């Protein structure tokens, strides 16, 4: 039996080893093993059990002398001793003996100058199908001489014992950057594999002069490129899926000196409340070859109920990017970005719907990674709560935020890109900005039309606000104009500005110029 070098990991007694099977073969194995069921569209549907999302508190980085001074240790990047990691790895390897093993050898990074080779070792055929569709798939010729840069072992059936293993729970996501090995156990949520690849790329690429980004990217017919940063619910996927532009990718990219390139070869989309009218591209991508997680399905008809969140609010589907029409299958742009957009959903109603940022403001708002939780979205939230995720991707950044912020500033300065902050949230009317208006503003930014008009300075946030955009009522562009109660507007401005300032105090490595670029609470 061919083992494809698994012995190097200590797996020497597998009952069977499968490498880079087709989606059809992996689906057959998953069904044979009872891992899931087929939907009426042909997609493989699984339930991930206790863990239906990322388990952020269960992620650890192995603390070794070689990486200790590089890692931004804290509540996100928790250290674990090398001895503890080795002990867990040994137990996981022992657990995998005499089991079927599914290997996917593939790539992250569409630009061959910066591609990293990953070997994913799976206990489950369904998870192997997922990562086969999410990463970049090698040709038969590339597989013949495949050199592994990083290895990820995913064994959801192995449960840690916190008192013995030094973990927080039965689940653990353990990254050893020196050994170039990731061990994931105790959780079947496939997103842990995807985001482990992303975390590795966020560690590796800055050393190669490439800015790694948690963003979507698209490209115009003339090759002009734009990137969209934004946390969940801000419209990143919706606004980057433009029928007049090619989608480079929806989630993870690198900004090199001469291109923007997708890390992945697939998409991982939310399914809750999915409809053919609202998001037809995602809806139609749920077909044979896709892996669906935690979506309620009728056992008889095998039809989905996307509105039922009884299994998970964070229901998901993974599929290859070629399932999306208008996708740039090379995963690369032909130029560096000329437009950078930060998306936010301000529930206070005081951020302008679109504004232009200078270099220091770009670094400030990028590092802040702001959006808001709205009343009713979580138990106990009765008024807007500001939410900050460093660099729009805090859980996946092993290095200090200042490293990524400096790379953003360098790339923007070198390319001459314009940076805009787009608020897809609310204003003084109490209503959320219409999608058609936001699209018009984004289009004006992408075409450069916005630069032809006049700008005024927002007194609290210091950003430059356009006074007119075609297709958008001018009174909506200046937030204060939408408030009848001017005192309430100023109070809301002060409250949000104070939240920004308080949050930014933790970034001790940022320059005084960047700190000064933040909002003024007085």
- pLDDT tens for 416-457 read 999 999 999 999 998 999 999 999 999 999 999 999 999 999
pLDDT at 234: 87
Domain final residue pick, 323, 347, 364: 323
pLDDT of the residue at 522: 75
DSSP secondary structure string for all residues of 404-452: HHHHHHHHHHHHT-EEEEEE-SB-TTSSBPPHHHHHHHHHHHHHTGGGG
Q: Which pLDDT band holds residue 375 (cuts at 50, 70, 90)?
A: very low
Read off the CATH number of the domain in which 472 is found.
3.90.228.20
Q: Which of 15, 232, 275, 377 is catalytic?
A: 232
What CATH number has the domain bearing residue 149?
3.40.449.10
Domain span at residue 18?
Answer: 6-34+55-209
Q: What is the chain's Cα-based Rg?
A: 23
The catalytic position among 19, 54, 132, 253 is 54
Statement to judge: residues 106 and 161 lie in one domain: yes
| 492 in active site | no
Catalytic residue among 19, 194, 316, 418: 316
If residue 134 lies in a helix (H) or strand (E), which one and from where to where?
helix 125-134
214 is catalytic: yes
Question: What is d(CA 107, CA 132) in angstroms, rounded to the nearest whole number?
Answer: 10
- Asked whether residue 432 is domain-assigned, the answer is yes
For 38-41, the CB contacts below 8 A with 24+ separation are: 38/302, 39/286, 39/292, 39/297, 39/302, 39/303, 39/304, 40/301, 40/302, 40/303, 41/286, 41/287, 41/288
| Out of 161-175, 292-306, 330-344, 374-388, least confident range | 374-388
For the segment 365-369, the average pLDDT, to the nearest whole number, is: 97
The verdict on 443 and 512 lying in the same domain is: yes
Provide the CATH number for the domain around residue 296.
2.170.8.10
Domain closes at, from 144, 174, 209? 209
In a domain, 454, yes or no: yes
* Same-domain check for residues 427 and 360: yes
Whether residue 288 is contained in a domain is answered as: yes
CA dist., res. 427 & res. 417, Å (int): 28
Which of the residues 236, 245, 356, 418 is marked catalytic?
236
Higher pLDDT, 235 or 212: 212
If asked whether residues 132 and 235 sit together in one domain, one would say no
Q: Cα separation of 63 and 69, whole Å? A: 9
- Residue 522 counted as domain residue: no
**23-32, 45-54, 371-380, 510-519: segment of lowest average pLDDT:** 371-380
- Does 46 reside within a domain? no
Q: Which tens digits make up the pLDDT trace of 476-494?
A: 999 999 999 999 999 999 9
The answer to whether 54 is a known catalytic residue is yes
Share above pLDDT 90 across residues of the chain, in percent, rounded to a whole number: 89
222 and 198 within one domain: no
* pTM of the model as a whole: 0.94
Residue 378, beta-bridge partner list: none
Output the pLDDT for position 385. 79
Count of Cβ atoms closer than 10 Å to residue 423 Cβ: 27
449 with 481, same domain?
yes
* Phi and psi based region of residue 34 (left: phi greater than 0; alpha: psi -120 to 50; beta: remaining): left
Question: Which residues sit opposite 304 in a β-bridge?
Answer: 297
- 123 found inside a domain: yes
Annotated catalytic residue 32: no
Catalytic residue, from 59, 214, 253, 418: name it: 214
Catalytic site includes residue 485? no
Q: Which of 89, 195, 356, 418 is catalytic?
A: 195
CA–CA dist 165, 154 (Å, integer): 17
Residues 195 and 275 in one domain: no
Query: Which pLDDT score is estimated for 521?
Result: 84
Pick the catalytic residue from 165, 176, 242, 251: 251
Pair 380, 511 in one domain? yes
Q: Is residue 392 located within the same domain as residue 283?
A: no
Q: Are residues 317 and 382 in the same domain?
A: no
Residues 49-68: pLDDT tens digits? 999 999 989 999 999 999 99
Q: Indicate if 245 belongs to the active site.
A: no
Identify whether residues 227 and 317 lie together within a single domain. Answer: no
Q: Using the 8-state DSSP alphabet, how is residue 71 labeled?
A: S
Whether residues 372 and 461 fall in one domain: yes
Number of domains in the chain: 3
**Residue 70 resides in a domain:** yes
Cα–Cα distance between 132 and 112 in angstroms, integer? 19
Q: Is 389 a catalytic residue?
A: no
Residue 346 annotated as catalytic: no
247: in domain: yes
* Span 191-229, pLDDT tens digits: 999 999 999 999 999 999 999 999 999 999 889 999 999
The residue annotated as part of the active site, out of 237, 259, 389, 438, is 237
């Amino acid at each position: 039996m061919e083992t494809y070098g698994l012995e190097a990991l200590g797996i020497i007694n597998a009952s069977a080893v499968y490498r880079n099977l087709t989606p059809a073969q992996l689906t057959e194995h998953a069904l044979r093993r009872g891992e899931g069921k087929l939907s009426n569209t042909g997609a493989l549907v699984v339930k991930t059990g206790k863990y239906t999302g990322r388990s952020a508190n269960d992620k650890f980085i192995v603390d070794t002398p070689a990486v200790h001074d590089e890692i931004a240790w804290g509540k996100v990047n928790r250290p674990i001793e090398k001895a503890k990691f080795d002990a867990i790895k040994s137990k996981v390897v022992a657990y995998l003996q005499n089991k079927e093993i599914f290997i996917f050898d593939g790539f992250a990074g569409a630009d061959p100058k910066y591609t990293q080779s990953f070997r994913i070792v799976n206990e489950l055929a369904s998870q192997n199908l997922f990562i086969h569709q999410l990463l970049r798939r090698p040709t038969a010729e590339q597989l013949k001489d495949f050199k592994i840069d990083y290895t990820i072992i995913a064994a959801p059936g192995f449960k840690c014992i916190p008192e013995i293993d030094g973990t927080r729970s039965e689940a653990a996501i353990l990254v050893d950057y020196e050994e170039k090995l990731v061990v994931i156990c105790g959780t079947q949520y496939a997103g842990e594999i995807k985001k482990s690849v992303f975390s590795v790329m966020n560690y590796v690429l800055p050393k190669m002069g490439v800015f790694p980004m948690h963003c979507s990217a698209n490209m115009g017919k003339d090759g002009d490129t734009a990137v969209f940063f934004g946390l969940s619910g801000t419209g990143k996927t919706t606004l980057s899926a433009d029928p007049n532009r090619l989608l480079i990718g929806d989630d993870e990219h690198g900004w090199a000196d001469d291109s923007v390139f997708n890390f992945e070869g697939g998409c991982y989309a939310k399914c809750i409340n999915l409809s053919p009218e609202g998001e037809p591209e995602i809806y139609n991508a749920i077909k044979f070859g896709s892996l669906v997680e935690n979506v309620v399905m009728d056992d008889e008809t095998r039809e989905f109920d996307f509105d039922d969140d009884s299994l998970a609010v964070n229901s998901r589907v993974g599929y290859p990017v070629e399932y999306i029409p208008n996708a740039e299958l090379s995963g690369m742009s032909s130029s560096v970005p000329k437009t950078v957009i930060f998306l936010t959903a301000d529930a206070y109603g005081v951020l302008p719907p679109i504004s232009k940022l200078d270099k220091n403001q770009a670094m400030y708002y990028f590092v802040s990674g702001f959006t808001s939780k709205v009343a009713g979205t979580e138990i106990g939230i009765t008024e807007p709560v500001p939410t900050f995720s460093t660099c729009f991707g805090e859980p996946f950044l092993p290095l200090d935020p200042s490293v990524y912020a400096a790379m953003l500033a360098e790339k923007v300065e070198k390319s001459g890109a314009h940076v805009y902050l787009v608020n897809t949230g609310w204003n003084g009317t109490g209503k959320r900005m219409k999608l058609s208006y936001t699209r018009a503003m984004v289009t004006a930014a992408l075409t450069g039309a916005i630069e032809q008009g006049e700008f005024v300075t927002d007194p609290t946030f210091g950003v430059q606000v356009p006074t007119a955009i075609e297709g958008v009522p001018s009174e909506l562009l200046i937030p204060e104009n939408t408030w009848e109660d001017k005192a309430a507007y100023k109070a809301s401005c002060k409250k949000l500005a104070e939240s920004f300032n308080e949050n930014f105090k933790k970034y001790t490595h940022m320059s005084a110029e960047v700190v000064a670029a933040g909002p003024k609470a007085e």
